[in-house]
């Protein structure tokens, strides 16, 4: 693999020199055909929908009210976007400008914005009965769970539905502790599982924690193939979990929780061979293994329905959220009947859990993913997009890594390829801003906010992928002026 230094990527003369060198090395080493032409401004693919004229409050007016009434301000962009309409992989702002949504509300809108089948199913259910609670019977819950159970491997057949990924992970850890009678749970550095007390404790990123008491969690080395000490050797990282069990616990643990591809941490795929070795150590120490599929589930990673399948393991508990209901607040915990039994020891109740609207949305989402072949589409279009982005890596030394599976892709931006120094946040932010101006919405992730995170609706197509790659090409080509503009 080529190695070169681009110490001042943003200095124009250096940028061009390194870029040329990069091209030469890439072409020689990897026989890649890299287009070094000056990119033209990208044009959005045609789309046969025009939203009705928007007559509501402006973004400025909404922002003023948000500052007054909302506790924390987190909108993207110098001038936050007021999105007023959405169709499939596109969203529209208050002026009718169309954007390609390559983030999907952070991986939530799995089938597409206002997907007609999901929309129709929800409206139909709305007109029948909206809310009953699990204190009464309604077939929507069991219709959904029967279908969802068919998607689960092994003996993962008993569910509890909730409203968010955080709640699902909180319950998963409660189950682990009740079932094993142990307290310690091992999580990963660079992980994200939510922001309630137990889940916040598991987070392995300082930007996803508050300085309050957080107990019962031990953080293992992140098996990060790009930045980790052991490269892609999953077994070496797994030894750290065994060491934690041996040196930092009584020898007994309640469990282990991880994403299979870390999302908030910057689309980091766990090194191959990691989970089988860790699951073995954890089970030998009396613990159970929890897979957080909040982002990665429902076919997003393309090759499999659940990301843990990529590592050839079957967890004891799986949590799912986000794309589960195409936008409806819904999450789920699934486990074996044996583990599920512990919840009978006391009352566990959540008012909106398994409500008819969310379960209807969940079933409709499952059906659309199946009928429209969205898992295969995630594989085909995701592989194509990754290839296009990898070609850009050969053109721009500012791209340190392109990674991910299916339609979960990360582009890590660096200042120095050899040292892997993260690109300064102000430059990553400027790239993010310029992509938006070109009509392309992407996410930011990683401890240094230097990873472009792509989690589009699973109906994304190759023309969208071409547009996204052209938009990034155009942005990176022109970002040389960023030093003076920031």
Ligand X SMILES: Cc1ncc(COP(=O)(O)O)c(C=O)c1O
Q: Which residues bind ligand X (CB under 6 A)?
A: 106, 164-166, 169, 192-194, 259, 263-264, 292, 294-295, 321
Nearer to ligand X, 294 or 471 (CB): 294
Which residues are CB-contacts of 369 (< 8 A; sequence separation ≥ 6)? 110, 111, 298, 299, 375, 458
Exposure of 317 in the CB half-sphere (CA atoms within 13 A): 30
- Closest residue to ligand X, judged by C-beta, is 165
For the range 235-240, what are the long-range contacts, defined as Cβ-Cβ under 8 Å and sequence gap of 24 or more?
235/273, 235/274, 235/277, 237/271, 237/274, 238/273, 238/274, 238/277, 238/278, 238/281, 239/277
Which residues are CB-contacts of 327 (< 8 A; sequence separation ≥ 6)? 105, 108, 109, 113, 118, 361
CB of 296 to ligand X, least distance (A): 8
Closest CA to 144 of 270, 134, 51, 135: 134
CB of 365 to ligand X, least distance (A): 15
**What whole-number distance in Å separates Cα of residue 183 and Cα of residue 72?**
33
**What whole-number distance in Å separates Cα of residue 9 and Cα of residue 37?**
19
Assess contact for 44 and 100: CB atoms under 8 A.
yes
CB of 208 to ligand X, least distance (A): 9
Nearer to ligand X, 264 or 366 (CB): 264
Nearer to ligand X, 164 or 375 (CB): 164
Nearer to ligand X, 264 or 479 (CB): 264
CB of 126 to ligand X, least distance (A): 22
Nearer to ligand X, 165 or 327 (CB): 165
CB of 172 to ligand X, least distance (A): 10
Q: How many CB atoms lie within 10 A of CB 38?
A: 8
CB of 240 to ligand X, least distance (A): 21
Nearer to ligand X, 169 or 182 (CB): 169
CB of 195 to ligand X, least distance (A): 7
Which residues are CB-contacts of 304 (< 8 A; sequence separation ≥ 6)? 310
Nearer to ligand X, 444 or 470 (CB): 444
């Amino acid at each position: 693999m080529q190695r070169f230094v681009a110490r001042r990527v943003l200095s124009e003369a250096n940028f061009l020199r390194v870029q040329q060198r990069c091209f030469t090395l890439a072409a020689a080493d990897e026989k890649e055909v890299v287009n070094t032409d000056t990119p033209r401004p990208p044009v959005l693919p045609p789309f046969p929908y025009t939203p009705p004229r928007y007559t509501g409050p402006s973004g400025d007016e909404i922002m003023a009210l948000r500052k007054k009434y909302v506790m924390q301000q987190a909108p993207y962009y110098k001038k936050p976007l007021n999105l007023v309409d959405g169709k499939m992989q596109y969203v529209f702002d208050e002026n009718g400008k169309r954007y390609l949504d390559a983030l999907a509300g952070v991986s939530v809108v799995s089938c597409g914005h206002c997907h007609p089948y999901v929309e129709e199913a929800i409206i139909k259910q709305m007109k029948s009965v909206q809310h009953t609670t699990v204190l009464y019977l309604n077939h929507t819950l069991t219709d959904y769970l029967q279908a969802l159970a068919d998607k689960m491997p092994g003996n993962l057949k008993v569910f509890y539905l909730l409203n968010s990924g955080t709640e699902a992970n909180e319950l998963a850890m409660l189950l682990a502790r009740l079932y094993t009678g142990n307290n310690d749970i091992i999580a990963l550095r660079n992980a994200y599982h939510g922001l309630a007390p137990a889940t916040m404790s598991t987070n392995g990123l300082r930007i996803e924690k508050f300085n309050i008491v957080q107990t019962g969690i031990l953080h293992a080395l992140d098996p990060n193939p790009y930045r980790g000490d052991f490269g892609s050797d999953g077994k070496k990282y797994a030894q750290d979990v065994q060491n934690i069990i041996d040196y930092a616990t009584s020898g007994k643990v309640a469990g282990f929780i991880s994403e299979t591809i870390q999302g908030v941490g910057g689309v980091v795929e766990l090194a191959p061979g990691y989970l089988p070795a860790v699951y073995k150590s954890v089970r030998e120490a009396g613990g159970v293994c929890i897979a957080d599929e909040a982002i990665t589930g429902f076919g997003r990673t393309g090759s499999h329905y659940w990301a843990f399948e990529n590592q050839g393991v079957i967890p004891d508990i799986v949590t799912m959220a986000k794309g589960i209901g195409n936008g409806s607040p819904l999450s789920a915990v699934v486990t074996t009947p044996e583990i599920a039994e512990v919840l009978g020891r006391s009352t566990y109740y959540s008012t909106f859990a398994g409500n008819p609207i969310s379960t209807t949305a969940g079933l409709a989402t499952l059906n659309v993913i199946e009928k429209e072949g969205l898992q295969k589409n995630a594989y085909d279009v995701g592989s194509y997009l990754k290839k296009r982005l990898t070609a850009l890596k050969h053109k721009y030394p500012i791209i340190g890594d392109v990674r991910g599976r299916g339609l979960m892709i990360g582009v890590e931006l660096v200042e120095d390829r050899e040292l892997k120094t993260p690109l300064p946040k102000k430059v990553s932010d400027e790239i993010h801003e310029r992509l938006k101006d070109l009509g392309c919405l992407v996410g930011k992730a990683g401890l240094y906010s230097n990873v472009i995170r792509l989690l589009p609706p699973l109906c994304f197509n190759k023309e969208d992928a071409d547009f996204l790659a052209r938009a990034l090409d155009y942005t990176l080509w022109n970002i040389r002026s960023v030093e003076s503009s920031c």
